[in-house]
């Protein structure tokens, strides 16, 4: 399918040959402005789609979030570092008066603390936790009292507080439930599979947008050719009417035959206006999809490319490697097997090995400093035995679901392979048949043109009628339009095959960007100040 791009414009060239008359422009532009003419090839349509179409931008926005999801999953075994700080400053003053006596008391509290915690999970399931906790306290209390009877004044002051610091490291290693490299790496493997899905989805989304843009271009070219065909048809009707009027003047044709020619001319004028409207719709739809000025006049660029006849076996090999729907079922089998393994692990008892060491320093009492150390080691077992009831049924339901999902995934994969073979075969056959239709439609056009030419000759000698000539004219118009339509249908079938095989990017020689680095940096720069500020 890499050669497909070269096949397209030989068909477009044939379409231009069908319309051998003059071309008409239906662009709507202001009377006082020269319309902008855009020379447009299919390759340029593809490039403009990727650069201008707004759906491409929203797709890459979603991709930034998807990429962040895999980064979160991959960070499972990175250290989790947190620092928590507290400060408390408080002053309290109390005054009391009673029958000439007075009492005043005040207290000041100063507290500060900082705690750092580092959690590290390892692929075996073990969790390593380091904690460092520091606190500082300074409390000052004072009182002043006056006794009116004795005239005495009493004062008192007291201080308390100090500094404490402790650190510790703890290790917990699950031996049954939650233990093992396979179990703890499972979530990362599932995230990586989802990331592969996301990349394939991005590729197919961009491919679908490319094909949509090229289809808009094909529709425009078809409308342009149909417009030329209708102009030729109107020209033939006008010439037939002039001939009939001359014959009527010479007394060789009746008025009724002339009216029939006039009716045919009016019909062709109506068809021309309808076709012109369709042409302008196609032009505007293409410009809208490409996010360009709707007043631009488009002129397709002619290029020559060879015809492609895809091989079924080669296409099947490519489809198995690239088709998103099939690969999704392949991924589903791996996911189901991984989740079954996780379910098997989670049914086991919770048996964990625990150990730790810590030190604590304190000088909270004046003149008395002390350091404490602690070492601990042990084993912890949680062993629920569900013999019957709701807990037993819940346990069984989870296991049944995991087993059923694993078997269903394999069945779905087998069906997906059969469906892919059928779809690829049908699509390849459709491409080859559409190619045959082009030659048949071209032969039909040639015969209809020859048939009309012979009928015009017979009309000049009085051996035919206006009705027969008009009928053959209409048949020629239909044959020309069918030839254009068959060419477009062939090109569209190639686009459909490319989408099915996942080779659209290769066909148009586009480098597939899995991420938009500039957009990702822009979003990260916007949120970074918010991450590192807490007020």
Ranges of H-type helices in 250-323? 255-289, 312-322
| Rounded-to-integer distance, Cα 364 and Cα 360, Å | 12
Do 413 and 434 sit in the same domain of this protein? yes
The C-alpha atoms of residue 375 and residue 358 are separated, in whole angstroms, by 7
Residues contacting residue 60 through CB under 8 Å, at least 6 positions apart: 202, 515, 516, 519
258 plus 140 within the same structural domain = no
Using CA atoms of 486, 492, 493, 494 in order, give the dihedral in degrees to the nearest 10. Answer: 120
Strands 297-300 and 37-40, sheet pairing: parallel
Q: Nearest CA to 256 among 432, 466, 406, 100? A: 466
Among candidate residues 382, 398, 431, the one where a domain is terminated: 382
323 and 421, same structural domain?
yes
Question: Does residue 115 sit in the same domain as residue 143?
Answer: yes
Pair (198, 258) in one structural domain: yes
Using the 3D structure, point to which of 382, 405, 427 is the last residue of a domain: 382
Q: Write out pLDDT tens, residues 96-112.
A: 666 666 666 777 888 88
Cα Rg, the chain, nearest whole Å: 42
pTM of the model: 0.79
User: Is residue 147 assigned to a domain?
Assistant: yes
102 φ, ψ (degrees, to nearest 5)? -140, 145
On whether residue 10 sits in a domain, the answer given is: no
CA separation for the pair 51, 115 (Å, rounded): 50
3-class secondary structure, 22: coil
Co-location of 152 and 272 in the same domain: no
What is the DSSP track for 218-235? HHHHHHHHHHHHHHHHHH
What is the reported pLDDT for 390? 80
Helices marked H in 323-381 — which ranges? Answer: 324-346
30 assigned to some structural domain: no
103/202 same-domain check: no
Residue 75 lies in a domain: no
Task: Determine the pLDDT at residue 102.
Answer: 64
Residues 87 and 60 in one domain: no
Do residues 132 and 115 lie in contact, with contact meaning Cβ atoms separated by under 8 Å? Answer: yes
Domain shared by 338 and 357, yes or no: no
pLDDT for 7 equals: 45
Q: Which of 168, 162, 169, 158 is nearest to 113 (CA)?
A: 162
The domain that contains 247 carries what CATH number? 1.20.1600.10
Are 366 and 436 found together in one domain? no
Residue 369: how many CB atoms within 10 A of its CB? Answer: 12
Residues 6+ apart with CB under 8 A from 144: 103, 104, 105, 153, 154, 155
The answer to whether residue 271 sits within a structural domain is: yes
User: Considering Cα of 489, then 494, then 497, then 502, what sign does the dihedral take?
Assistant: negative
Structural domain of 147: 82-177+351-382
Low-confidence spans in the chain with pLDDT less than 50: 1-31
Q: In this structure, is residue 24 part of a structural domain?
A: no
pLDDT at residue 239, rounded to an integer: 85
Q: 210 with 145, same domain?
A: no
Look at the chain and report how many structural domains it folds into: 2
Confirm if 359 and 168 have CB atoms less than 8 A apart.
yes
Summarised one tens digit per residue, pLDDT across range 1-37 is 444 444 444 444 444 444 433 333 333 444 455 678 8
Q: In this structure, are 230 and 323 located in the same domain?
A: yes
> Does residue 291 lie within any of the structural domains?
yes
On whether residue 293 sits in a domain, the answer given is: yes
């Amino acid at each position: 399918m890499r050669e497909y791009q070269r096949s397209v414009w030989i068909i477009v060239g044939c379409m231009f040959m069908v319309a051998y008359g003059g071309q008409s422009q239906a662009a709507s532009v202001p009377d006082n402005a020269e319309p902008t003419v855009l020379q447009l090839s299919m390759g340029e349509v593809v490039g403009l789609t990727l650069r201008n179409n707004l759906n491409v931008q929203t797709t890459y926005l979603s991709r930034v979030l998807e990429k962040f999801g895999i980064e979160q999953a991959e960070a499972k075994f990175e250290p989790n570092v947190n620092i928590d700080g507290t400060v408390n400053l408080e002053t309290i003053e109390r005054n009391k008066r009673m029958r000439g006596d007075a009492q005043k008391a005040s207290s000041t509290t100063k507290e500060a603390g900082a705690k750092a915690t580092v959690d590290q999970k390892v692929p075996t399931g073990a969790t390593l936790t380091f904690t460092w906790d520091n606190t500082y306290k300074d409390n000052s209390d004072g009182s002043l009292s006056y006794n009116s009877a004795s005239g005495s004044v009493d004062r008192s002051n007291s201080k308390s507080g100090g500094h404490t610091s402790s650190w510790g490291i703890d290790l917990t290693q699950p031996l049954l439930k939650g233990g093992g490299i396979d179990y703890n790496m499972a979530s990362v493997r599932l995230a990586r599979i989802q990331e592969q899905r996301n990349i394939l989805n991005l590729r197919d989304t961009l491919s679908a947008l490319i094909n949509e843009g090229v289809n808009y271009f094909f529709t425009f070219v078809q409308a342009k050719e149909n417009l030329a065909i209708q102009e030729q048809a109107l020209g033939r009707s006008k010439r037939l009417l002039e001939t009939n009027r001359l014959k009527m003047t010479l007394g060789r044709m009746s008025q009724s035959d002339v009216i029939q020619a006039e009716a045919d001319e009016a019909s062709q004028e109506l068809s021309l206006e309808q076709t012109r409207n369709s042409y302008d719709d196609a032009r505007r739809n293409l410009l809208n999809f490409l996010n360009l000025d709707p007043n631009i006049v488009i002129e397709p660029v002619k290029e020559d490319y060879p015809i492609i006849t895809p091989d079924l076996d080669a296409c099947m090999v490519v489809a198995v490697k690239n088709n998103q729907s099939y690969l999704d079922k392949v991924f589903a089998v791996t996911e189901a097997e991984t989740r079954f393994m996780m379910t098997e692990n989670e049914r086991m008892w919770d048996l964990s090995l625990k150990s730790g060491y810590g030190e604590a320093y304190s000088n909270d009492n004046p003149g008395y400093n002390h350091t404490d150390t602690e070492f601990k080691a042990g084993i912890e077992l949680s062993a629920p035995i569900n013999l019957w009831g709701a807990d037993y049924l819940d346990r069984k339901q989870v296991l049944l679901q995991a087993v059923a999902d694993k078997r269903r995934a394999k069945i779905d994969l087998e069906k997906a392979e059969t469906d892919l073979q059928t779809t690829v075969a049908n699509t390849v056959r459709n491409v080859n048949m559409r190619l045959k239709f082009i030659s048949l439609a071209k032969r039909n056009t040639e015969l209809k043109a020859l048939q009309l030419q012979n009928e015009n000759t017979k009309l000049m000698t009085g051996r035919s009628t206006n009705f027969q000539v008009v009928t053959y004219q209409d048949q020629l118009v239909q044959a020309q339009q069918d030839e254009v339509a068959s060419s477009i249908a062939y090109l569209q079938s190639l686009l459909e095959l490319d989408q099915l095989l996942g080779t659209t990017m290769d066909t148009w020689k586009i480098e597939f960007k899995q991420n938009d680095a500039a957009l990702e940096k822009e979003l990260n720069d916007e949120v970074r100040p918010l991450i590192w500020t807490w007020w």
